[in-house]
Structure 1
């Protein structure tokens, strides 16, 4: 068997919270992670297997993937042939704007129940938007039209339900939330599970189980993801990669690069180029 050929091309809007990637992966394995944005993908060739919301899923050619913000998932090729896919990350505010009614009132954010859907028409719509985002000759007006149409179709055709109404938090939820706040407050510190336990007044076992149940990630993965997201923001703003690594608690640039690639599917250098590229 020949050498695997993984590649990825990334695009980031210079002025709006929307990003897109076109990639082919045979060997790359995504570490379990989530995005701050909605993520809508379409598999073009092959098949990608992943776990999300406690279940295993496979997205084959022509199928659509829908991830809610902060939906933990992983991903890898289903076989040695790999898979090619396009994915678009859209901030919740943009989704809300696209769904507002004729009076300008926001209709609320959707929650996607199924992370995979077989819908050729929706796949075609997503692909058209993705192609326009990466096309230097596409106008801003054309991109906005396709974005609005794609979001409307996704919400209309995909299985959705309203976001759940807030409920009184359980003890487990409160413990997880307090631990999460400590991770945010001390993002670059080398925290231990005992630090989380002390901050919540519980045992290390209680805080670990509560956090995993609430956020779908172990505290260590969540903490690393916070640092990676911050590093990505710094890199997009023009901070040199070695400085971004130091500012976010990574040992050096190579340490940041290893984890950045496992979470996002491209190197910090490639992301930097996408961040400064003109649309």
Structure 2
């Protein structure tokens, strides 16, 4: 297969992702100025960190704090495939404050490599969204599709990425609490039932008022007077969708109406806020089981 790597960096926030396969490459000892969370997809890699030697095999999670020195290389000649998400301390601090979790600066895990399936799944979701890929554990070879980060600002993508990052931190917290307490994890702080409804309905009103315009997680938090974390959980509890899922639904429905009025698919995609026609095609198919083209052709009666 040979060595290969893909890398994307957000233009707006300190968030980076890399997916790579290495057989010969070996990292010299170094440290990042970010929180760095990784998942080994296939194979195994060995590295030294925090005074010990560790091996991360398929499905395992790696967690490095800022300025955690480490190296790394393939554990055998078959190499390893992995991805790593780098999160700036200020971004991590904001998410942790939203979740009312422990202060930033403590190790994310007691050890820099752990078996944590929920954390691995959430990291895969986040990195896939940033890379615009859909690989699974054990997948081989790079996916060369374009990334949303290459296409400029996109409110829907930004909101979705924020939610996926929150899920990563939430999963880390749940894992850490389960490890720390033999009796199980203490539940995260809950808002009251009435507050869930108020927060969710206010957030939905903001999304409805915005129509197809960009809406950030920060704007929803400001409008409701609650944290981004609380907005996300309240909206999910009330409507069964995340705010970004709801916003995408508004955009798909808007595109469907335009298509019904005879607007070309490429034009409808742009007006509805999708990155391009293929982006609309993917979501239209997922929502309605047919492509935009098939939908428009079905409106034409017998000649």
Equivalent residue, structure 1, for 2:61: 64
* 1-structure distance, mates of 2:46, 2:101: 35
* 2-structure distance, mates of 1:123, 1:77: 20
RMSD (CA atoms): 2.0
Matching of residues 101-120 of structure 1 within 5 Å:
101=98, 107-109=102-104, 110-112=106-108, 113-120=110-117
* 2-structure distance, mates of 1:133, 1:33: 24
Structure 1 segments (4+ residues) deviating >3 Å: 158-161
Equivalent residue, structure 1, for 2:175: 157
Q: Is this contact kept in 2: 1:9–1:22, CA < 8 A?
A: yes
Deviations 1:150-177 (A, max 9, x none): 112113314799xxxxxxxxxxxxxxxx
Change (3 A) 1:101 1:121: closer
Q: Is this contact kept in 1: 2:118–2:171, CA < 8 A?
A: no
* 2-structure distance, mates of 1:69, 1:49: 20
Matching of residues 238-249 of structure 1 within 5 Å:
none
1:73 equivalent among 70, 84, 105? 70
1:88 equivalent among 78, 85, 88? 85
Residue ranges of structure 2 left out of the alignment (5+ in a row): 133-146, 149-155, 181-303
Equivalent residue, structure 2, for 1:257: none
2:158 equivalent among 140, 160, 181? 140
Change (3 A) 1:81 1:153: same
Change (3 A) 1:75 1:141: same
Change (3 A) 1:21 1:158: farther
Change (3 A) 1:158 1:47: farther
Equivalent residue, structure 2, for 1:253: none
Residue ranges of structure 1 left out of the alignment (5+ in a row): 162-279
Instruction: Give 3-state SS (helix, strand or coil) of 1:39's partner.
Output: strand
- 1:124 CA drift (Å): 0.7
2:22 equivalent among 13, 20, 25? 25
Deviations 1:50-104 (A, max 9, x none): 00011000000000000011000000000000000010000111111111147xx
Instruction: Give 3-state SS (helix, strand or coil) of 1:31's partner.
Output: strand
Q: Is this contact kept in 2: 1:43–1:61, CA < 8 A?
A: yes
Q: How many residues align?
A: 156
Instruction: Give 3-state SS (helix, strand or coil) of 1:151's partner.
Output: helix
* Structure ranking higher on relative contact order (CA contacts 8 Å, 6+ apart): 1
Instruction: Give 3-state SS (helix, strand or coil) of 2:72's partner.
Output: strand
Matching of residues 179-194 of structure 1 within 5 Å:
none
- 1:120 CA drift (Å): 1.4
* 1-structure distance, mates of 2:39, 2:120: 6
Q: Is this contact kept in 2: 1:39–1:90, CA < 8 A?
A: yes
* 1-structure distance, mates of 2:89, 2:21: 27
Structure 2 length normalisation: TM-score? 0.49
* 2-structure distance, mates of 1:13, 1:122: 22
- 1:106 CA drift (Å): 7.5
2:127 equivalent among 101, 125, 130? 130
Instruction: Give 3-state SS (helix, strand or coil) of 1:114's partner.
Output: coil
Q: Is this contact kept in 2: 1:96–1:106, CA < 8 A?
A: no
